[in-house]
Chains A and B, each alone.
Chain A
Amino acid sequence: TLRLICTTTAVQRKNVGASGPEKYTEAFIKKQIEEFNLGKRHLANMMGEDPETFTQEDIDRAIAYLFPSGLFDKQARPMMKHPTEVFPEQRKIQWGEDGRPFHFLFYTGKQSYYSLMHETYEKLLNVQKHQDQLIAQDLPLQKEKRNLAGSRWLTKIELEEMLLEKVSDDDYSRFIQLLQKLAALPCADIEEKYILKFSKEVPVQLQKVVIEPLQYDERGVAFSTGEGKRKTASATAVVYDNGTGKITVNGIDILHYFPVLQDREQLLFPFQFLGRIGKHDMVCTVSGGGRSAQAGAIRLASAKALRSFVTEKEVEFMRQAGLLTVDPRVKERKKPGQEGPRRKFTWKKR
């Protein structure tokens, strides 16, 4: 069976379309659409804008202005959207007035699934026929191979949304196996359009972070800046080249600003990792947070600043060592009914 390795938030939504019989009639939805358009024009009039060129973004802005809300959940705030976005897609009634179903596979129970399987198998047979023809004519089979690396197949939930009916795990895996078999054939380019319907682009994981080039100050010494945050403390660091390893924080030497060894070790870490302990000077400013948070913020800032001095491979090493990631840990909120974020009140039996 196939396993989902990565899931996006879109995938985790419930599929409402395949849940049950129709809740909203077609006439009802049409009426909603009319009301929406009228309302849009009224809103445009109210805001003093042109009703013809009033886009959805303008609607959102107008509603946020007219009904300001302090709720944290964006989906709990008042919104005005097109009915097709609000009401989920429904399956229309699949039999006529005489009770006779429209589709020939209705009595299988999963009509859209089986019709999809039939279609896909038809395409497969097509491709095989084409392949035989080419072999008979002794023509080369391979054309360009499609790159499957940047794309993934539809997930089960997305397939359910497409077919508007429930798909079980087994059925889903069989469908994907069939698709893969089809795509693996050398002459699958003919049916490429059909295959593309069921594949999606994987978003590029590694966002290319731009490394700033070195700047030079009046004396001709190369330097670069970096910023870092950790748990309410924010720091900016300026790392100079050709130095002796002196570090100044807010105008004070690190021995005096961080009397604790642990904080100084945190500052030492990026330089030690790159092996450049005595080679750079650093001047930083830091505010907010506590002793440890400030040390962590300066560490991040100096690591970011050092990227400009160092090769790309070493930048990758730094990233893997965790020197360049922002630490997401912040103080957790205290909940009502508990003494702290996790600690509950003392339990008394009576």
Chain B
Amino acid sequence: QLDRGCALHTAARAGLSSVSSQDVPAQGPRAVFHTSESDPAKHTEQHEGRLYNIPLEEVKAVFPHGLPHRFQQQIQTFNEARVMVRKPALELLAYLKGSNLAHPAVRYVIYGERGTGKTMTLCHVVHYCWRQGWLVLHIPDAHLWVKNCKELLQSSYKKDRLDQPLQASVWLKNFKSSNERFLQEIKTQRKYMWGKQESTEEGRPLGEVVEQGLARVRSASDAVGVVLRELRQQSHRGSFRLLVAVDGVNALWGRTTLRKEDKSPVSPEELTLVHNLRKMVRNDWSGGAIVTTLSQTGSLFKPSSAYTPQELLGKEGFDALDPFVPIPVSNYSPREFESCYGYYLERKWLQHEKAHTEDGKAELQFLSGSNPRQLDRLAGPL
């Protein structure tokens, strides 16, 4: 099995020693499962099922807040970030490469069962866009904005909307750390008033708006709104390309668990952040792309077996997002499973003696059903 793998993938090997030689058996398996290609732009079907490395500095720069929690723990344990190249991601990258930026932004919805790798696909795409120099607007989990919010302020901008200062400031901080240089280049097109005294003049860099939002936490949500609007209006000029990456987009149209002070439930439109994000996700601007994921795990009031766009978005959301390009993500194919298993073995994550055998591998495949999340959880205690 290993020989077959070696024969097929000799072409992609750059720096490692030749695979066919028997005197370096420890390097052989490594070559099959890994790619030294760390630029997502160059990933093709040849690299499918293989893991590529993202240097740790890039991880800190690109993903201050985007990666799933368990993956972050894995990065800490293994001291490297390895992401698997999978077919849905390759599909998306192909679309992005071929998309015409003069047209209105195309919407892509990544959907699939629980734990099949939607967020990781999104992160892969985000990394690619960052490498290409796009401005990445990454919202790690829209569900965080519609539940468990401790502070709700009434918006000063519009009377019936509610602000969420904490979440907005957290997001602004992360946004700033990932897109520093853009914030200096992009200039505001209008004057904005923050309360009675502070204001931002026209022509100032966007960085100032962000600083304002971080300094005055009360107006953080409005700052977010301003940032989004500016980016939307300026992206069609072509000086930068905008990628809107939203994880858990079905939160924007569902229900919330938040309540106003008179115990009446809050609907998503009443939240400033959600309102602005909805405007962002509409495809009335050009010069970029919108990539979203549906997520059942954080969603509220939805059955656990729902995973299609229709079920999770509801009628409202579906109409709002329509038309979009659906991208299904499924469980690991046998090849992907083998490469993931090989990676765990190689990093000595699987310590159990039986895990090294063929039977152990078959057992893992059976018990996890080739579901990436299940496999990760199974391999944990082993």
> A residues bordering B, Cβ < 8 Å?
245, 253-256, 261, 264-265, 268, 271-272, 275, 277-278
Mark interface residues in B305-331 (1 if CB within 8 Å of A CB, else 0).
Answer: 100000000000000000000000000
Chain A contact residues: helix, strand, loop or mixed: helix
Stretch of B60-68, B153-161, B198-206, B363-371 with 4 or more beta carbons under 8 angstroms from chain A: B363-371
Whether the pair A245, B374 counts as a contact (CB closer than 8 A) is no
List the A side residues contacting B12 at CB < 8 Å. none
Between-chain CB contacts (< 8 Å), 12 pairs: A245-B362, A253-B369, A255-B371, A264-B369, A268-B366, A271-B366, A272-B363, A275-B359, A277-B359, A277-B366, A278-B362, A278-B365
Whether the pair A278, B366 counts as a contact (CB closer than 8 A) is yes
Q: A277 CA to B363 CA in the complex, in Å?
A: 7
The size class of the interface chain B forms with chain A is 10 to 19
Q: A245 CA to B367 CA in the complex, in Å?
A: 10
- Ranked nearest first, the 6 interchain pairs of A and B with the lowest CB-CB distance are A255-B369, A277-B362, A278-B362, A264-B367, A268-B366, A277-B366
Which of B363, B365, B367, B374 has the most chain A CB atoms inside 10 A of its CB?
A: B367
Which of B366, B367, B371, B378 has the most chain A CB atoms inside 10 A of its CB?
A: B366
From residue B369, how far is it (CB to closest CB) to chain A in Å? Answer: 4
11 further A-B pairs in the complex, CB-CB below 8 A; given A245-B366, A278-B366: A245-B362, A253-B369, A254-B369, A264-B366, A265-B367, A268-B363, A271-B366, A277-B362, A277-B365, A278-B362, A278-B365
From residue A243, how far is it (CB to closest CB) to chain B in Å? Answer: 12
Q: A277 CA to B366 CA in the complex, in Å?
A: 7
From residue B358, how far is it (CB to closest CB) to chain A in Å? Answer: 9
Interface residues of B in 342-382 (CB under 8 A from A): 359, 362-363, 365-367, 369, 371, 374, 378
Closest chain B residue, CB of each to CB of A277: B362
List the B side residues contacting A271 at CB < 8 Å. 366
List the B side residues contacting A277 at CB < 8 Å. 359, 362-363, 365-366
> B residues bordering A, Cβ < 8 Å?
305, 359, 362-363, 365-367, 369, 371, 374, 378
Whether the pair B366, A261 counts as a contact (CB closer than 8 A) is no
From residue B45, how far is it (CB to closest CB) to chain A in Å? Answer: 23
Q: A277 CA to B359 CA in the complex, in Å?
A: 8
List the B side residues contacting A255 at CB < 8 Å. 369, 371, 374
Whether the pair B305, A256 counts as a contact (CB closer than 8 A) is yes
List the B side residues contacting A268 at CB < 8 Å. 363, 366-367
Q: A278 CA to B361 CA in the complex, in Å?
A: 10
List the A side residues contacting B362 at CB < 8 Å. 245, 277-278
List the A side residues contacting B369 at CB < 8 Å. 253-255, 264
List the B side residues contacting A254 at CB < 8 Å. 369
From residue A306, how far is it (CB to closest CB) to chain B in Å? Answer: 15
From residue A248, how far is it (CB to closest CB) to chain B in Å? Answer: 12
Q: A272 CA to B361 CA in the complex, in Å?
A: 11
Closest chain B residue, CB of each to CB of A255: B369
Known: A255-B371, A256-B305, A261-B378. A245 touches B365 (CB 8 A): yes
Q: A255 CA to B371 CA in the complex, in Å?
A: 9
Q: A253 CA to B365 CA in the complex, in Å?
A: 14
From residue B134, how far is it (CB to closest CB) to chain A in Å? Answer: 36
Q: A245 CA to B366 CA in the complex, in Å?
A: 7
List the B side residues contacting A264 at CB < 8 Å. 366-367, 369
Q: A253 CA to B362 CA in the complex, in Å?
A: 17
List the B side residues contacting A261 at CB < 8 Å. 367, 378
Q: A264 CA to B371 CA in the complex, in Å?
A: 14
List the B side residues contacting A245 at CB < 8 Å. 362, 365-366
From residue A147, how far is it (CB to closest CB) to chain B in Å? Answer: 45
List the B side residues contacting A272 at CB < 8 Å. 359, 363
Closest chain B residue, CB of each to CB of A245: B366
Q: A223 CA to B97 CA in the complex, in Å?
A: 49
Closest chain A residue, CB of each to CB of B115: A255
List the A side residues contacting B363 at CB < 8 Å. 268, 272, 277
Closest chain B residue, CB of each to CB of A247: B366
List the B side residues contacting A256 at CB < 8 Å. 305
Q: A69 CA to B60 CA in the complex, in Å?
A: 81
